Amino acid sequence: MIGIFKQKNPGNTLLLLIYALVLKFPNFLHPTGPLQQPGDHYLYKQVIRFLQSFQLPPVLYSLLAFLLLFGQALLFNRICNAQKMIAKPTYLPAMAFILVSSLFVEWNQFSAPLIINVFLIWIFYRMMLLYNIPKAGNVIYNIGLLLGIVSMLYHPAIVFILLVIFTLFIMRPFRIQEWVIALLGITTPYYFLALILYFSNQWSWGHLLPAVSFNLPLMPTSPFTTISIVLLVIPFIVGGVFVQNNLNKMLIQVRKGWSLLLLFLMISLSVILIDGDTKYVNWILCIVPISAFHAAAYFYPINKPFPLVLHWITFAYALYLNYVLNG
C-alpha cells in the first residue's frame, strides 16, 4: 500500500477513496448528528441551526464529515507536493491524513474543529507563500481574514493568532505595516458580525467575543485512547528524525515549511488546554502537522519492512477501533 501511494499516479485518488471508505464505513452504519461543544462560537451555531432546519438524517452528517476529511486529505496532499515538502511528488500525506483521522472516532464526526481544519490547511499554504513574495500585504490580510473566520467558528481557535505572529517572524523581515494588515484581517469578520448583530437587534458581547478558559486535559481512562496516542506519537518522532536528517537536502523555503508545521503542532496542542473536551474532538486540530511527519516516516526509511509494519499495525488497529469497539 505504501509503495502504491508513494507514486504520484492520478489513479491513486480513486484508490485513496476506497482506502478511506474501508476505514470509515462504520460511520455510515452508526451515524451521529453534529457534535456541539462549549467552545462552539456564533458562526458554527448558526450553521448548525441552518442545517437542523432541514431535519437532515444523521447519515447525511456522516457523509458531510467524510467528504470534509477526504477533501482535506487531497488538499493537504496537493499543497505538500506543490511546496516540495517531501523529496518527490507522492500521495503519502493524503494516505497518512486518512489513516491518522481514523484513530479517534470523534475525528470522523461533523464538528466545528473538523470544519476549521479546511481553513487551517489553506492558511498553512498561504503562509508558505510569504517567503517569496516581495509585497505580501494581500496574502497577509487573507491569512488574518481566514483566522478571524476560524475563531468565529470555534472559541479556542483564537490562539492561532499566535501562528500569524510567529510566522511573520519566521517568513518575513519586520515591517510594522504587515503586522497592522494582519490585525485588520483578523478583526474584519468581527466587524461585519457586529453590524449584523446590531441591525438585527441581537447585539451581545457574548456573541462577539471569544470566551476562553484554560483547563488541563483529562488523562486517558481507556487503554485504547492510550494506544491511539502512541500510534500518533511514534510515527511523528520517526518522521521528525528523518526530516531532520534530510534538512540539508531541502530548499530554504521547505525548511521553513517544516518549522511552520512544528509551530502549527505546538499551537494546536495548546488548544487542548482551552475549553478542553473529554471526547478529544478538538485534538483533530493537530492532524495536519502530524500527518506530514507521518508521511515522512513512510517515505524516507531505506529499510522497506519498517514503514510497512508501522502502517499495517496502525491500519489494523484503526479497523479494530472502528469496526469492533465502536461497531
- What is the grid cell recorded at 306? 519498517
Cell numbers 507514486 correspond to 7
Summarised one tens digit per residue, pLDDT across range 24-75 is 998 888 888 888 887 777 788 888 888 888 888 989 999 999 999 999 999 9
User: How much of the chain, in percent, has pLDDT values that exceed 90?
Assistant: 29
- What is the grid cell recorded at 208? 462577539
Does 87 or 273 have the greater pLDDT score? 87
DSSP code string of 148-187: HHHHHHBGGGGGGHHHHHHHHHHHS---HHHHHHHHHHHH
Summarised one tens digit per residue, pLDDT across range 16-32 is 999 999 999 988 888 88
Alpha helices (H) along 200-222? 205-208
Our count of domains for the chain comes to 1
The 8-class DSSP code of residue 304 comes to: T
The whole domain housing 246 covers 2-325
- What is the grid cell recorded at 84? 516540495
Torsion 110-64-224-299 (CA) sign: negative
Task: Please give the model's pTM, rounded to 2 decimal places.
Answer: 0.90
User: What angle (nearest 5°) sits at the alpha carbon of residue 114, between those of residues 110 and 118?
Assistant: 130
